[in-house]
Every structure is written in C-alpha cells, then in structure tokens.
Amino acid sequence: MLEGDVDDRYERGRVRRKEVLGDAYVEEVLAAATPFTRDLQEYVTRACWGDIWSRPGLLRRERSILNIGMLVALGRAAELRLHLRAALSGGVTVREIRELLLQSAFYCGGPAALDAFRVASDVLDELGLDQAEADTTCRHLVHQAAFAWAEHAPSDISEKVRSALDDLRPHLCGVHLLTYGPDLGLNEETADFAVFGLFADEPAYRAYADHPDHRSILHDLVLPNATSRTVIQYQV
C-alpha cells in the first residue's frame, strides 16, 4: 500500500475516532503513546476507525450499540465504559442501554450483565443522567438530516452552517443532543454535512424546526447549495 494511502486512512480514522469518542480523549490517548505503544495506536486508528467505523453500511449509533453488546460479552470494563459514554453522547438513550444490558444477561450470562450494569450506572452518574429515564413512557424524537453540496456551493458552506447552528443551539429547550458537521455517518452514502438531534418530544423538535434562525439556515444556506437532502425521523 502506498504511504499516502496509509496516511489518508490514519487521518480519516483520527477524525472519526474524535467524532465518536471526543476530541479531548483521543488527543490524550495519542499524545500518551510511547515508542512501545505507538504502533498499536496507529494501527487502531487506521484499521478500526479509518476502515470499519468509516464504512457507510451502518449508522454510527448502530455501531455503538453493537460495540456495547460485544464488550459486555468479552468482559472488557474499561472499553465498555468508554463506549457507553460515546453511545450516550451519540443518541443512544438510557432506556436502550438498559434493554441492551438486560438482553445480554441471557446471551452473555448473569455475571457479565451484572458487571455491565455496574459500569453503566457509574457512567450515567458521571454524566449526570437520570437512571429513572429507562422507565419513562416518554417517546423521544430522533431527527437525522444529511446533505450533499452542489458544485456551486461556497467552499466554506459547511463552516457557515456549523457556525449558524452554534448560534442557534443556546436558544433551544428540550434538546438532549444536537450534533452536526461533515459526514456523521447518518445515511448509507457519505454526506458533505449532516445533523443529528435527539429531542425530548415532538414540541421540542418543532421549536427547533420552526425557530426563525433555523428557517433562515435552511432556506438561505442549505437548500440553495444542496443537491440532495435526506431526512429521517423516528421515536425512541
């Protein structure tokens, strides 16, 4: 393989790893690599994050759910803690985590599930999330949108949309998660820009969608410059 291809895989993996696990964690792990561990970190970044996590066949939240199940089965508490945090930051709900761990009790065994529930409870406490949310009948709304930019779109269009959404975010209520940027892995093809939102309920989503600043972003920035727009919504 050409050296340039290797570097491309590493950079793609580094970006994807940060998107899922967070900038601070990834920078800390890579900076802490020693001459003894550096090759492993580079391999993980290229092969796991640059190749597997960058594939379009599954949504990112689906990969997170799969990872949690496999880590429970393997009994890898440290990695499980890391990926539970990533999953909860990426739109997987407390209720979904609870159901996943309950199912693992049958397929992976009681001791593995008990350990996993202990780790998950610690993570929820660390993140300040209400464990009682797993028993609520409230139906959260997930909103996913992916765009491909037209050839005539300004070179900085993604940054303009990101900046406008940054300005809008503090004015919203009932938003559990709102993340956006180039290629969040939300559709089966690579997107030039994508948005993922987890809203407390339908009114919270409507407040976002109908906000004048959001309408301005959509009609002034996105629609005139996009050649395709894919929107998916569902309740969890």
Q: What is the CATH number of the domain that holds 110?
A: 1.20.1290.10
| Judgement on whether residues 46 and 74 belong to the same structural domain of the protein | no
| Judgement on whether residues 36 and 62 belong to the same structural domain of the protein | no
Last residue of a domain, one of 12, 33, 55: 55
| Judgement on whether residues 214 and 227 belong to the same structural domain of the protein | yes
Q: Comparing 101 with 202, which gets the higher pLDDT?
A: 101
Instruction: Give mean pLDDT, residues 188-207.
Output: 82
Whose CA is closest to 193, among 233, 162, 155? 162
pLDDT at 166 over 50: yes
Interatomic CA distance for residues 101 and 82, integer angstroms: 15
Q: Comparing 57 with 103, which gets the higher pLDDT?
A: 103
pLDDT at 137 over 80: no
- Cα 111 to chain centroid distance, Å, stands at 29
Quick one: pLDDT band at residue 180, thresholds 50, 70, 90? confident
Retrieve residue 106's tokens: 């049958």
- What is the model's pLDDT at position 3? 47
Whose CA is closest to 169, among 142, 195, 203, 208? 208
| Judgement on whether residues 78 and 121 belong to the same structural domain of the protein | yes
Instruction: Give mean pLDDT, residues 173-202.
Output: 77
For the chain, give the mean pLDDT: 87
Whose CA is closest to 26, among 6, 56, 7, 50? 50
Task: Name the residue range of residue 109's domain.
Answer: 56-137
Total domain count, the chain: 3
- What is the model's pLDDT at position 75? 95
pLDDT at 59 over 50: yes
| Judgement on whether residues 11 and 48 belong to the same structural domain of the protein | yes
pLDDT at 113 over 90: yes
- What is the model's pLDDT at position 1? 39
| Judgement on whether residues 93 and 164 belong to the same structural domain of the protein | no
Last residue of a domain, one of 118, 137, 156: 137
Q: Comparing 5 with 107, which gets the higher pLDDT?
A: 107
What would the pLDDT profile of 12-43 be if each residue is shown by its tens digit?
999 889 888 888 899 999 999 999 999 999 99
CATH code for the domain in which residue 209 is found: 3.30.70.100
Quick one: pLDDT band at residue 46, thresholds 50, 70, 90? very high
Instruction: Give mean pLDDT, residues 57-73.
Output: 90
Last residue of a domain, one of 72, 102, 137: 137
Quick one: pLDDT band at residue 89, thresholds 50, 70, 90? confident
pLDDT at 140 over 50: yes
| Judgement on whether residues 43 and 103 belong to the same structural domain of the protein | no
Distances (CA, A) of 89 to 84, 93, 223, 231: 9, 9, 28, 20
